[in-house]
Amino acid sequence: MNIFKWMKKNKDILENPWDKYYEKDKRTIEVPDCSIYHYFERASFAHDDIVALNYFGTKITFKDLLKKIDICAKALRSQGVRKGDVVTICMPNTPEAVISFYAVNKIGAIANIIHPLSSQEEIKNSIIQTKTVLVIAINLAYATLEAIIDETDIYKVVIVSAKDSMPSLLGFGYLLTQELKMNLSKSNECFIYWDEFFNRGYSYNASTMVERDKDDPAIYLHSGGTTGIPKNIVLTNGNVNSVMEQAKIIFPNIGVGDSLLGILPLFHCFGLIVCTCAPLALGATVILVPQFDAKRFDRLLRKYKPSIIAGVPTLYEALITNPYMMNVDMSMVKYVISGGDSLSPEKNKKVNDFLLEHKCEAHIMQGYGMTETTGPVSIGALGSDKPGSIGIPLPGNKIKILDVETKEEKKTGEIGEICITGPIVMAKYLDNEKETNNIVFTHEDGNRWVHTGDLGYMDEDGVLFFVQRLKRMLIVSGYNVYPSYVEEVLLKHPKVQMCGVIGIPHPYKVQVPKAFIVLKKGVEYSPDLLKDIKDYCSKNLAKYMIPKEFVFRDSLPKTLIGKVNYRELEKEEQNH
């Protein structure tokens, strides 16, 4: 026998430095060749009577959730939705959003998931670009959808209320305080309300069973990629199911009896994949929180006693600064997960100290990923959570650090661009081959690698450390905001001649945009003009992208080639 074959058979040869953290048979995964729904269905059979969703005290078991998904799937079929069609889901965290997501996947359609507070133009463009035929939306988006429906191919909009699954008394309170102010119309040819839509599923008798494999597109999520121009990210069934398989290995102690506080929204990749699909696949309960109020964080913990908390850094800022957390016992919490942006070593320590003070034996686990990689790529699990690090690659994923210019692989400890491969790499940007080829490259090993635009390094144990971004990007409450895109929108205002957008510190959101504007010749500043620009931003930008501050100037600093020198603006702001 060849000596090397003998060594490999009889000795644990480490292919990657991070392999030492995993048992030998758990370093790779087999991606199930099925739909997201079928994966969830098989996992659910093991715990039929366990609570899957808890929504303001309304509890839905796995058995009942499967039944509701089946009825919703039939209702979608009754409205003409077929395999390969696109259904846009524009919802906060409610049972209807989860039911719709799995029902769309069950019938072989594609779920286009968008932020309910996106601007009218963003919602319209997303619906047109994805060729959406039906929309399931929260009633807050009614007016927006009514205004744009004639410009799209939508033939039906299903309107959902946050009260639809609330306990009756709480739902009545919501009706009086919120819904009556919305001026909603009755059902008509284009608009139908959830109860009526859902009931149509009971009378649909044809089969909804559709076979889909791991390479079929399942979800469209949204990102600015490396340029900031909005793109539709195509994730497959296999992309999502691979994260479920990875979760089994990374979180072996999560299962029946555990619960996750579902604060991150479903239209955020972290919220959908890590905070909803993964815990449900493991048999845990997801506590749905449609609107997070930082001041009430203590009430959520006291009431629900979750064993898992997952969120972006702003969530933990809210936790440790909440004045009512003094006597809250957090001993029930088993996992504390942070993603969406990096926590500084100082903030990491503050959170860990806070957890210890509140009787929690867990310490915060930082993760790293992006929507183009179906969320998590690495996480500080299994003892790899070194101070300041963002963990080790999840099973089946690989990371290498490349020189930005030469693309040669860097040595241990050397800084370069973080590049990622694995079953989590997106299929593509929808109808955008050029931008896809700007971020996904096939290397000599034959694998597709995402070049993240982030700088970092790996130590001798294969633990990843984030340094900074190559691309110009802000993180606002965990959401990517590209200043160049905000500038592009502002420059379309008829009275704006030039502008520059930078990020400024914010005590809760970490960063917020600030705009510096030069008006066109002959245009003078006035409070009415400022209001007009703000209204324009509200119509054309998602709420979290709108600049917090607007500064009007006669001129802006420029680079040698005549572009706005945003680095000079940043220096001015720091010295202000």
* Exposed e or buried b per residue across 158-195, where buried means at least 16 C-beta atoms within 10 angstroms of its C-beta: bbbbbbbbbeeeebeebeeeebeeeebeeeeeebbbbe
Q: Which residues contact 435 (CB under 8 A, 6 or more apart)?
A: 225, 227, 229, 231, 429
What are the tens digits of pLDDT across the range 391-409?
999 999 999 999 988 999 9
In this predicted structure, the answer to whether residue 389 has a pLDDT above a threshold of 80 is yes
In this predicted structure, the answer to whether residue 571 has a pLDDT above a threshold of 50 is yes
Confidence of residue 315 (pLDDT cuts 50, 70, 90): confident
Predicted pLDDT of residue 560: 59
Domain residue extents for the chain: 16-33+237-471, 37-212, 474-575
For residues 514 and 476, give the distance between their C-alpha atoms in angstroms, rounded to a whole number.
12
More confident residue, 109 or 268: 109
| DSSP per-residue codes, 179-235 | GGGS-PPPP-SSEEEHHHHHHTTTT--S-------TTSEEEEEEE-TTTTS-EEEEE
Q: What angle is formed at CA 30 by the lines to CA 28 and CA 36, rounded to 5 degrees?
A: 125
Predicted pLDDT of residue 478: 81
Alpha carbon separation from 439 to 254, 325, 422, 434 (Å, rounded)? 34, 43, 15, 9
Confidence of residue 558 (pLDDT cuts 50, 70, 90): confident
Tokens linked to 39: 């994966």
Alpha carbon separation from 379 to 4, 336, 376 (Å, rounded)? 32, 11, 7
For residues 386 and 111, give the distance between their C-alpha atoms in angstroms, rounded to a whole number.
37
Tokens linked to 471: 């691309």
In CATH, the architecture of 37-212 is: 3-Layer(aba) Sandwich (3.40)
Of the CA atoms within 13 Å of residue 54, those in its CB half-sphere come to: 20
Query: In 38-96, where do the E strands start and end?
Result: 51-55, 58-61, 86-90
Predicted pLDDT of residue 207: 87
Tokens linked to 250: 């990374």
What are the tens digits of pLDDT across the range 348-379?
899 999 999 999 999 999 999 999 999 999 99
Tokens linked to 17: 């430095």
Rounded percentage of the chain residues whose pLDDT exceeds 90: 68
Rounded percentage of the chain residues whose pLDDT exceeds 70: 93
Confidence of residue 419 (pLDDT cuts 50, 70, 90): very high
What are the tens digits of pLDDT across the range 10-69?
466 789 999 999 999 999 999 999 999 999 999 998 888 999 999 999 999 999 999 999
CATH no., domain 16-33+237-471? 3.40.50.12780
Predicted pLDDT of residue 305: 96
Q: Do residues 233 and 111 touch, judged by C-beta distance below 8 A? A: no
Confidence of residue 240 (pLDDT cuts 50, 70, 90): very high
| Least confident interval from 130-144, 223-237, 479-493 | 223-237
In this predicted structure, the answer to whether residue 434 has a pLDDT above a threshold of 60 is yes
For residues 44 and 62, give the distance between their C-alpha atoms in angstroms, rounded to a whole number.
6
For residues 198 and 99, give the distance between their C-alpha atoms in angstroms, rounded to a whole number.
11
Predicted pLDDT of residue 314: 79
Nearest in space to 26 (alpha carbons), one of 288, 385, 372, 392: 392
In this predicted structure, the answer to whether residue 559 has a pLDDT above a threshold of 70 is no
Confidence of residue 387 (pLDDT cuts 50, 70, 90): confident
Please write down the HEC assignment for all residues of 548-564.
CEEEEECCCCECCCCCE
Mean local confidence (pLDDT), 420-446: 96
> What is the CB neighbour count within 10 angstroms for residue 524?
8
For residues 547 and 190, give the distance between their C-alpha atoms in angstroms, rounded to a whole number.
35
In this predicted structure, the answer to whether residue 171 has a pLDDT above a threshold of 70 is no
| Least confident interval from 246-250, 261-265, 476-480 | 476-480
Alpha carbon separation from 358 to 308, 329, 365, 434, 450 (Å, rounded)? 15, 5, 17, 50, 40
Q: Do residues 501 and 490 touch, judged by C-beta distance below 8 A? A: yes
Mean local confidence (pLDDT), 405-419: 92
In this predicted structure, the answer to whether residue 3 has a pLDDT above a threshold of 90 is no
Q: Do residues 132 and 553 touch, judged by C-beta distance below 8 A? A: no
Same fold, 16-33+237-471 and 474-575: no
Q: Do residues 539 and 489 touch, judged by C-beta distance below 8 A? A: no
- Report the amino acid identity of residue 327: N
In this predicted structure, the answer to whether residue 484 has a pLDDT above a threshold of 70 is yes
Predicted pLDDT of residue 328: 94
Predicted pLDDT of residue 471: 75
Tokens 């909603």 sit on residue: 184
In this predicted structure, the answer to whether residue 5 has a pLDDT above a threshold of 60 is no
The CATH classification of domain 474-575, taken from the options 3.40.1160.10, 3.30.300.30, 3.30.559.10, 1.10.540.10: 3.30.300.30
Confidence of residue 1 (pLDDT cuts 50, 70, 90): very low
Mean local confidence (pLDDT), 170-190: 65
The DSSP output letter for 409 is B
In this predicted structure, the answer to whether residue 549 has a pLDDT above a threshold of 80 is yes
Predicted pLDDT of residue 4: 38
What is the distance in angstroms between the CA of the first residue and the CA of the last residue of the chain? 72
- Report the amino acid identity of residue 454: D
Nearest in space to 264 (alpha carbons), one of 65, 479, 511: 479
Q: Do residues 341 and 309 touch, judged by C-beta distance below 8 A? A: no
Alpha carbon separation from 41 to 34, 35, 253, 523, 544 (Å, rounded)? 11, 10, 21, 61, 35
For residues 424 and 376, give the distance between their C-alpha atoms in angstroms, rounded to a whole number.
8
Tokens linked to 503: 């990020």
For residues 418 and 330, give the distance between their C-alpha atoms in angstroms, rounded to a whole number.
35
